[in-house]
A and B are shown apart, each in its own frame.
Chain A
Amino acid sequence: MLTPLETTLLGIMMMVIMLGMGASLTFRDFLIAFKKPKGVLVGLLCQFGIMPFLGYLLAVVLGLPPALAVGLILMGCMPGGTTSNIFTYFSKGVLALSIMMTSVSTLCAVVFVPALIAFYSKLAGVTGEFAIPAANVAQVLVVLLVPTVIGMVLRKANPNVGATVELIGSMLGIFVILFLIVSWVPRNYQLLLSTPWYVFFAAIGLGLFGMVLGYFLSRAVRQDLNRSRTISLETGIQNGPLAVLIVTLTFTGEMQQQVLLVPVLYSLFIVLSSSAVTVWYRSMATREALARDAAKVATA
C-alpha cells in the first residue's frame, strides 16, 4: 500500500497534471468540440461505453475476486489519461482531438464515472466493503476541475507560462507512473510473483482490447484512419494515476493493497503497450499526415 505521504504526493501531482491539461486547452476548443461534436462523441462512446463494459466483461469472464474486479471496473470507468496526448503526438495522430477527448471525458467523468462504477459493480456482484462510494469519486473529480480551469486561465493570460505548465504536467504524467514503479513494485514483488496470469491478462488486455475496439468503432462510424488511430489510443489509455488516487482515498490497509493491484499493473503495462502501438501507428501515419497537410479544397 501507499503511505499517507505518498498518497498526498500523488494527490498533488494529480493537481499539477490537471493544471497542465487545462493549460493545453482554450475555451475555443470546447466551442469547436460542440460545433463539430462527432469525433468527441465517438470518443465519449468509447470511453464510457466500451471501456467500462470491457472492464466488467474481463472481470466476469476471468472470474476475478471482488477486490480485483472492482479495481478492473474502476480502471475501465476512468476518463482518458493525459499521457495519451503524448502518445498521440508521437504517433502523428490528431493532437487536438486527443486533447479534446481527454478534457471532455474528464469533465463528463464527474457525472459518468460514479454512475458507471455503481452500475457495473452491482452487475458484477461487488457489494459491501468493496463498493466504491459514488460521492467519493465525484468529489475527487470535482476537486480536480479546479486546477484544470486555473490552467486554462493561465494559458490565456501568459502563453509562456501556459506552455511551461502544460509541459510539466504532461511530463509528470509519465513521472507518476515511474513513481509508482519505484515506490510500489520493490515493496510488492512478492505479490507480483504470486499474482496469477489472468490478472496480468486482465490488466494488459483492458488497454489493448480497448484500443482495438476503439479503432473499429471509429472506422464503423466513418472517422478517417488518422482520427480512428487517435481515438483508439485515447480509448485504450485511461487515467491510471487517477484510479490509484481514488483507491488510496477510499480504501486502507490490506484492502487498499488488493484493490490497487489492477490499476497499478494497468498503469505499468499501458506505457509499454501504447509505446509499441504508437511506433506501429506512426509508421502508418507518416504518409497520410503529409497528404493531410496538403489536402485541397473539395471541388464542387
Chain B
Amino acid sequence: MDTRFSAYDNKPWLAAYGSSISQTLPPARHPNLGHLVHSACQRFAEQTAFTCVVPNGMNGSLSYRQLADASDAFAAYLRIDCKLEAGDRVAVQLPNGLAYPVVAFGVFKAGCVLVNTNPLYTASEMLHQFNDSGAKVLVIVDMFADKLAAVVPQSKITHVVLAAVSEMFPALPNLIVRGVQKVWSKVLPPIPALAVPVLRLSAALAAGTASAKATPGVVQTYWRGVAASDVAALQYTGGTTGVSKAAMLTHANFLANIEQVLAMGRSHMGSNECVLTALPLYHIFAFVANLLCFVEIGARNILVPSPRPVQNLQRAIENYPITWITGVNTLFNGLMNEEWFTAFPPKHLKAAIAGGTALHSAVAARWQSITGTRVAEGFGLTECSPVVTFNPLSGVAKPDSIGIPVPGTGVRLVQDDGQPAAVGEPGELIVQGPQTMAGYWNRADETAIVQKDGWLYTGDVAVMDAQGYFRIVDRKKDLVLVSGFNVYPNEVEDALSKMGAILEAAVVGIPDPRSGEGVRAYVVKNPDFEGELTAAAVIAHCKSLLTDYKIPKSVVFRAELPKTPVGKILRKDLKAEVKTEFAAR
C-alpha cells in the first residue's frame, strides 16, 4: 500500500457516517438490473410506480404490476420481433413520461444495452451517438420524429418506435394532450417515410406480448443470463472535451451505486416514498437517483416531462405527497422564486438532493428556511455511475461541501506531480470503487487518460478538511493561469454572484500578452436591478472581495449564458468563443 496517501486512505470521513450509515458497502441484492426490476415489481405489485403529470395537471399512472407487464412486452418485442441479441444497443430518446421506464426496463430485461439520448439533440448529434454506439433500435418521442429522415438512413437502426409524452394516459386526457400538442402548440410533426419499420409504442408492446405468448416465461430467460460485469448502459458524456464518448456502465456499477445511495439515505426512507422527478431521466443523476433507487424501494415517481418554465411543476407538487425532490441549483432557485411554492412548500418533504452542479450556499440556506428540510448536496460524474460523495442526511452537513465519500469508495486528492495534496490543499479528485465505469466504449486511448493504476481521474480539483468532507474548487481544465497563479473560476463566479445587480456569471481565461492568461467574466444583468451595470462597477465589486490577479480584466455582458439541459453553465462554449475571438486577432 502506498502510505503517502494515508491521510485519504485512512478514510477520516468514516467517523461522520455515525450509526445510520453502513461503514462497508453491503453486497448487491440483485445479480443484474433485470432482476432488480422484476423483484421490485413482484414485491410492490399493487402500488403505483409512476405518475406522469403535464403542466395542466392531467396525468397517467402505472402500477408496478403494469410496469412489469409492459416492460416484459417490450423486452420480448426487442428480442423476438426486432431479433436483437443480448448486448445489442437500444437508443432511447425520451423525455420524462410513462414510456421511459417501460422502455428502459424492457431493455434491461432483454439483456440489451441502454443508450440514453437527449431528446433535444440535433440530427448530427444523434447520428454521432447512434453510429458510435451501433444502436439497432431507436425509441424516440414523436415530437422529434421529423429528425428521423436525416438520421435513420445513415445509421444501423433497423426498427424505430415512437412514444408520446402522454403515452399510457387515460383515453380522454391523452386525447386532449395530443390534441393540444397537434393543433395548439403544433409540436407533432408528420412522421417521415422510412425504409425501416416505424411502430407506435403501444403497437410494439402488443407485438411483444403476442410474440412472447408462444413461450411463457421467455423474458426471464433473457435477463437471467446477464452477468453483473456485462455492460448495462452506454452513457454519453464528455461534452467538456468536445468529443462525445460513452462510459460503459455495467450492471454491477449501477447495483453498487444504488446500494451506496441507499446506504446514505435509507435511514430517512420508509415504504411510502414519493419522489418528484423533474430532472431528465436520460441524465445519469436522475436515472440512478430517481429511477433505479426509488424503484428498488417501491416508491412512487412523479415524472414531469419538462420542468421549464418552473411553473410546470406546480400541479405535480400540489397534487401529490412529495417526500423527496432531486434537483440542480437552478431548479431549487427557480422554485423559490414562485409564489405558489414559497407560500405552500410540499409539507411531506423529507429532504432534497442536489447534484449536477455546485449548489450555492444562499440557495441551500433559503431552501432550508422555506421548506424546513435539508438540501443535501452530492457529487458525481457519469464515469462513476454517478455518485461519489454525499452529505449525510443526519449529523453534519457542511455548506458548500459535496460531503463525504459513499461506502465502499476510496477518494484521494493528487497534485499534478502525482504527490498527494496535503489536507486542506487543492488536488485532483480521484476515485476507486465498485461504481467506476468499465471504460469508454471503443476508446482505449481516452480510457487510459482517466483510468490509471485502478483510479479514476475526475478532472475536478477539490480540497478535504480534517473531518473528511470534500469541497470542489473547480474543474482542472477550467483553471486560469495568471502570471503563474492559479485562478479558480468558481471562486470569481461566487464573488460576482454576490453582486445584487448580477443574475449569473461565468468566468474563463483569455490570452494576455503580459500575464499569459487573464480573467474574463461573462455577466448576465439581474432584471430586477434598475439602472445601468458597467464593467467598472463589476470590477470595483470584485476588488472588494478578491486579490489582484483574480480580478476580471475584461467583462462581457450577455442576455444569457450557454447551459446544458440540466442547467450547468457551459464554460467550454465560452472558451470556444474566446478562442475564435483571439484567433481572429
B340 cross-chain contacts in A, Cβ below 8 A: 28-29, 32, 96
- In this complex, how many residues of chain A approach chain B with their Cβ under 8 Å: the count is 32
CA distance A299 to B560 in the complex (A): 19
Contact between A294 and B333, CB atoms less than 8 A apart: yes
Contact between B500 and A298, CB atoms less than 8 A apart: yes
CA distance A167 to B414 in the complex (A): 59
1/0 contact trace for B166-210 toward A, CB 8 Å? 000010110010001000000000000000000000000000000
Contact between B330 and A166, CB atoms less than 8 A apart: no
Q: Contacts A36-B339, A293-B310 known; A299 to B500 CB distance under 8 Å? A: yes
Interface residues of A in 279-297 (CB under 8 A from B): 287-297
B229 cross-chain contacts in A, Cβ below 8 A: none
The reply on A183 being an interface residue by CB < 8 A is no
A229 to chain B, nearest CB (A): 14
The reply on A134 being an interface residue by CB < 8 A is no
Q: Contacts A164-B172, A288-B527 known; A297 to B362 CB distance under 8 Å? A: yes
Interface residues of A in 132-156 (CB under 8 A from B): 155
Contact between B344 and A299, CB atoms less than 8 A apart: no
A26 cross-chain contacts in B, Cβ below 8 A: 318
In the complex, the chain B residue whose C-beta lies closest to that of A97 is: B339
B360 cross-chain contacts in A, Cβ below 8 A: 296-297
B110 to chain A, nearest CB (A): 32
B316 to chain A, nearest CB (A): 10
Q: Contacts A28-B344, A164-B176 known; A299 to B497 CB distance under 8 Å? A: yes
Given B59, B176, B308, B503, which contacts A291 in the complex, CB threshold below 8 Å? B503
Given B56, B339, B527, B559, which contacts A295 in the complex, CB threshold below 8 Å? B527
In the complex, the chain A residue whose C-beta lies closest to that of B307 is: A293
Contact between B527 and A292, CB atoms less than 8 A apart: yes
- In this complex, how many residues of chain B approach chain A with their Cβ under 8 Å: the count is 42
In the complex, the chain A residue whose C-beta lies closest to that of B344 is: A28
CA distance A162 to B318 in the complex (A): 14
Interface residues of B in 497-553 (CB under 8 A from A): 497-500, 503-504, 524, 526-528
Interface residues of A in 94-110 (CB under 8 A from B): 95-96
A150 to chain B, nearest CB (A): 17
Contact between B334 and A294, CB atoms less than 8 A apart: yes
In the complex, the chain B residue whose C-beta lies closest to that of A224 is: B528
A155 cross-chain contacts in B, Cβ below 8 A: 57
Contact between B344 and A166, CB atoms less than 8 A apart: no
Interface residues of B in 317-335 (CB under 8 A from A): 318-319, 330, 333-334
The reply on A163 being an interface residue by CB < 8 A is yes
CA distance A273 to B173 in the complex (A): 32
A160 cross-chain contacts in B, Cβ below 8 A: 57-59, 170, 172-173
CA distance A35 to B524 in the complex (A): 31
CA distance A287 to B525 in the complex (A): 12
In the complex, the chain B residue whose C-beta lies closest to that of A23 is: B57
CA distance A163 to B340 in the complex (A): 18
Contact between B337 and A292, CB atoms less than 8 A apart: yes
The reply on A31 being an interface residue by CB < 8 A is yes
The reply on B373 being an interface residue by CB < 8 A is no
* Dominant secondary structure at the A interface: helix
The reply on A159 being an interface residue by CB < 8 A is yes
A295 cross-chain contacts in B, Cβ below 8 A: 333-334, 337, 503, 526-528
B51 to chain A, nearest CB (A): 10
B163 to chain A, nearest CB (A): 20
B310 cross-chain contacts in A, Cβ below 8 A: 293
Contact between B319 and A159, CB atoms less than 8 A apart: yes
Contact between A297 and B57, CB atoms less than 8 A apart: no
In the complex, the chain B residue whose C-beta lies closest to that of A294 is: B330
Contact between A299 and B498, CB atoms less than 8 A apart: yes
In the complex, the chain A residue whose C-beta lies closest to that of B319 is: A159
Contact between B339 and A96, CB atoms less than 8 A apart: yes
A166 cross-chain contacts in B, Cβ below 8 A: 56
Given B56, B57, B318, B504, which contacts A28 in the complex, CB threshold below 8 Å? B318
CA distance A159 to B61 in the complex (A): 13
A103 to chain B, nearest CB (A): 14
Contact between B333 and A167, CB atoms less than 8 A apart: no
CA distance A96 to B313 in the complex (A): 13
CA distance A26 to B173 in the complex (A): 20
The reply on B363 being an interface residue by CB < 8 A is yes
B224 cross-chain contacts in A, Cβ below 8 A: none
CA distance A137 to B559 in the complex (A): 50
1/0 contact trace for B289-327 toward A, CB 8 Å? 000000000000000000011110001001100000000
CA distance A107 to B27 in the complex (A): 62
In the A-B complex, list the 10 residue pairs whose CB atoms are closest, starting with the nearest: A159-B57, A163-B56, A291-B527, A163-B57, A32-B343, A163-B58, A160-B173, A297-B362, A295-B337, A293-B309
Write the residues of chain A forming the contact surface with B, with a CB cutoff of 8 angstroms. 26, 28-29, 31-32, 35-36, 95-96, 155, 159-160, 162-164, 166-167, 224, 287-300
Q: A164-B176, A295-B337 are in contact. List 14 more A-B contacts (CB 8 A).
A: A31-B343, A159-B53, A159-B59, A160-B59, A291-B560, A292-B337, A292-B527, A293-B309, A294-B560, A295-B334, A295-B526, A296-B503, A297-B360, A298-B500
20 A–B pairs (Cβ distance < 8 Å), ordered by A: A36-B339, A96-B339, A96-B340, A160-B57, A160-B173, A163-B57, A163-B58, A164-B172, A167-B56, A167-B176, A291-B503, A292-B309, A292-B337, A293-B310, A294-B333, A294-B504, A295-B334, A297-B333, A297-B366, A299-B500
Write the residues of chain B forming the contact surface with A, with a CB cutoff of 8 angstroms. 53, 56-59, 170, 172-173, 176, 180, 308-311, 315, 318-319, 330, 333-334, 336-337, 339-340, 343-344, 360, 362-363, 366, 497-500, 503-504, 524, 526-528, 559-560
